[in-house]
Amino acid sequence: MTDSPQPYRVLARKYRPRNFDELIGQDAMVQTLANAIKRGRLAHAFLMTGVRGVGKTSTARLIAKALNCIGPDGQGGPTIDPCGVCEPCKAIAEGRHIDVIEMDAASHTGVDDVREIIESVRYAAVSARYKIYIIDEVHMLSKNAFNALLKTLEEPPAHVKFLFATTEVNKVPVTVLSRCQRFDLRRIPAEKLAAHFAHVTQAEDVQAEPDALALIAQAAEGSARDGLSILDQAIAHADTSGDAPTVTAAQVREMLGLSDRGATRRLLGLLLEGRAQDMLAALDEQHQLGVEPLALMRGLLELVHAVTIAKAGRGADDPAQSAEEREMLADWASQIGFAPLHRIWQLLLKGHDEVANAGLPREACEMALLRIVHAASLPDPSDLARMIQQGGVSGGAGQAAPAKDAPGAGSESAAQWPPTFAALVDALWKNSGFLADQIEHEARLVRYAPPELALNMARPVADDFLRKLTEALKTATGQRWVVTLAEGEGEPTLGEQKAESEMQARQAILDTPVVRAAMTAFPDADLVEDNEQWSASG
């Protein structure tokens, strides 16, 4: 008679930590416990809190083993390194030790359940050093159950230890928290999860691409159990044509409905350049590949966040980023201002919520991204006010009006030349917000004599900068331009001129007799801009 095959155990159960060395990402807690055991300063109640899958219940079982281990020779004491071979260690690991009682508070919420614990704590442990009560999801206990437990929790017998685990520590009464030694288990970093998954795949005789493991680690969001569950699914989904199953990044993306990072970068580039038709084509391609619209919006949000953080001066800390991605992020960060980045972030965030709640997610995604394409080419309200003041907007058409002293004024064709450099940048905003922002904040005008334009850039520019700018100017004005980079000092940038104008306007208000008197009467008051109107605040 042949033995029946052992039933399959999912990876999340098979690779539960058997000792503290296998508990990843919780080094601070392990060190605290080690010191407490070494010095004999053991609390009578421990509370483990953290998000799902970071090891709360596993930690409670490891503490139970550490306190009750007697060593291979039966003479050992409490240790941070339980042997795993003595009878208490094996019985606790298998969940059959009579003195280690586990209770699920989600299904045992009442006073009667707690009363059983209160009655039993009076009796000494049968075969272990400590009688240990592990209560999972302790926040589910009723208010009366917590109150009934308080006295026993504060002054338990010396042979009793309480180990609590919860995902919602804010629901645990303060009176209980104050009687426990609390450990906040952290989310496990993605790089540690990826290394752990590599070890698991090697033990399971499965091949896996590093990028695939990185994607799984990111999708796990700091939870080892979630990551192992995804890995289990990925192995089942893997290609089995070779000697061993192979988990690839493409398969993981398809399984999770994720967008390729390179495709997301290309899509953001199209958004920044205002190419609506190409953007819609790229979006359709992602849809055909099975990428969920919500996942695509999330990918764009993560990318814009990464660009903004890079512009703020913090280096990339994402191990999943390739060298190509880091280079592109740095390039965008050097060329895009904070204002457009924040505007795109807000539009993406609003679009993400719309897609999440829409009955037609794909259509909602298209509309949200089209809104970004068109909004990116619109000037800020302050820029629009400046255009009106300079006579750059006429009637309702929004076309630049030719100045009387503009080069070639009086001829029909000459009317198409913007009268000033500022008007030229305003026209550029309508077709290429990315370049317009760069010109406004980094370009110092040396010579403006249409069709000639000479600029002195405040920062180094890309090799194809002049070509792109020339093409964008032709699209914006319908005329060919000759753009050069000059060595002259040039005028202040338009952004600097706007800031100077705002400062002068603010000072003019401060110099008025009424405001000056108000400031004298209220020294702590200040002049603030509220909805583009200056007002006093104090």
Q: Can you give the pLDDT at residue 409?
A: 38
Q: What is the pLDDT of residue 363?
A: 92
CA distances from 256 to 120, 231, 259, 260 (A): 48, 11, 9, 11
Give CA–CA dist 422/483, Å, rounded.
16
User: Residue 472: which residues within 8 A CB-CB, separation 6 or more?
Assistant: 428, 431, 432, 435
The total of other beta-carbon atoms located within 10 Å of residue 1's CB is 3
Token pair for 365: 């995604």
Residues in the chain: 538
Domains of the chain by residue range? 11-184, 190-256, 261-376, 381-405+415-491, 495-537
Radius of gyration of the chain (CA): 33
Assign 451 to helix, strand or coil: coil
Of 56, 53, 95, the closest CA to residue 231 belongs to 53
95 vs 274: CA distance, rounded Å? 61
Global pTM exceeds 0.75:
no
* Cα distances (Å, whole numbers) of residue 465 to 429, 438, 452, 469, 470: 16, 11, 16, 6, 9
SS3 188: coil
- We find that the CATH architecture of domain 381-405+415-491 is 2-Layer Sandwich (3.30)
Return the closest-CA partner of residue 408 out of 479, 486, 471. Answer: 479
Q: The tokens of 129 are what?
A: 């050093």
CATH number belonging to the domain at 11-184, selected among 3.40.50.300, 3.40.50.1820, 3.40.980.10, 3.40.50.970 = 3.40.50.300
Dihedral sign for Cα atoms in the order 455, 460, 466, 470: negative
pLDDT of residue 394: 41
**Separation between Cα atoms, residue 254 and residue 484, nearest integer Å:** 47
Q: CA 179 to CA 26: how far, in whole Å?
A: 22
Which tokens is 163 given? 């180990």
- What CATH code would you report for 190-256? 1.10.8.60
Report the distance separating Cα 34 and Cα 63, nearest Å.
10
Q: How far is CA 344 from CA 249, 336, 369, in A?
A: 29, 11, 10
Contact 185, 28 (CB under 8 A): no
Angle between helices 421-429 and 381-389 (to 10 degrees): 140
Q: Supply the pLDDT for residue 351.
A: 92
Residue 62 is encoded by which pair of tokens?
Answer: 């490891």
| Range 261-376: architecture per CATH | Up-down Bundle (1.20)
Angle (nearest 5°) at CA 294 between 290 and 297:
105
Consecutive 10-residue runs of the chain (538 residues): their mean pLDDT? 64 86 86 88 89 88 91 88 89 89 87 88 88 91 90 88 91 90 88 90 88 86 87 82 78 74 84 87 85 88 89 65 74 83 90 91 92 69 56 41 38 62 87 85 87 86 84 86 82 86 79 72 64 48
3-state secondary structure (DSSP) of residue 246: strand
